[in-house]
């Protein structure tokens, strides 16, 4: 995934020959809102984060930027299936624009993201149904660009 192509591309690498083969491509862009919008910039991918400790499958988190006229950008949460394919769990819309600082707690229970454009930092956790929801009020700091759990 990169800023110009908001897709996660899945390839298989042969362990002996090193040859790669294309498996799938999955968009990380949330669907547009139901109400009419004016698209003034192209939605783009930003960062990928793998949570290997989530159950029953690892979770891939993809941050996106400049989503239509929404007040926030989005995080896309995917289950990584044993085949390597991605299955969309949900889109979450924590407060913030231009997520550049997305990190996870060591146990994978919390995801923190920071909007570089507006300074909002949000913390999400999984509820009992497995959905990612805010677990605290967002806070605003000066230009967050990284999250590190100690």
How many whole angstroms separate alpha carbon 47 and alpha carbon 57? 20
Give every residue of the chain whose pLDDT is below 50, as ranges: none
**Predicted pLDDT at 1:** 59
**Predicted pLDDT at 69:** 60
**Predicted pLDDT at 27:** 75
Residue 147: closest CA among 108, 114, 110, 124 = 114
**Predicted pLDDT at 22:** 78
Are the C-beta atoms of residues 135 and 93 closer than 8 Å to each other? no
Please write the tens of the pLDDT for every residue from 114-139.
888 888 899 999 998 889 999 999 99
Please write the tens of the pLDDT for every residue from 66-81.
655 666 688 889 999 9
**Predicted pLDDT at 110:** 92
Token pair for residue 122? 């949000």
**Predicted pLDDT at 41:** 54
**Predicted pLDDT at 116:** 83
**Predicted pLDDT at 111:** 92
Residue with tokens 């239509």: 68
**Predicted pLDDT at 135:** 95
């Amino acid at each position: 995934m990169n800023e110009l192509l908001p897709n996660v591309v899945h390839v298989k690498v042969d362990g002996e020959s090193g040859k790669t083969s294309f498996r799938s491509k999955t968009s990380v862009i949330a669907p547009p809102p139901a109400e009419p919008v004016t698209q003034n910039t192209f939605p783009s991918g930003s960062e990928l984060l793998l949570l290997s400790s989530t159950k029953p499958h690892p979770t891939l988190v993809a941050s996106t930027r400049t989503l239509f006229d929404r007040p926030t950008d989005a995080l896309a949460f995917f289950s990584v299936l044993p085949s390597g394919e991605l299955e969309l769990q949900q889109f979450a819309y924590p407060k913030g624009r231009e997520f550049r600082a997305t990190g996870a707690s060591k146990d994978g229970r919390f995801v923190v993201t920071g909007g570089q454009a507006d300074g909002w930092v949000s913390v999400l956790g999984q509820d009992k149904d497995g959905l990612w929801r805010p677990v605290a009020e967002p806070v605003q700091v000066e230009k967050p660009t990284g999250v590190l759990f100690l």
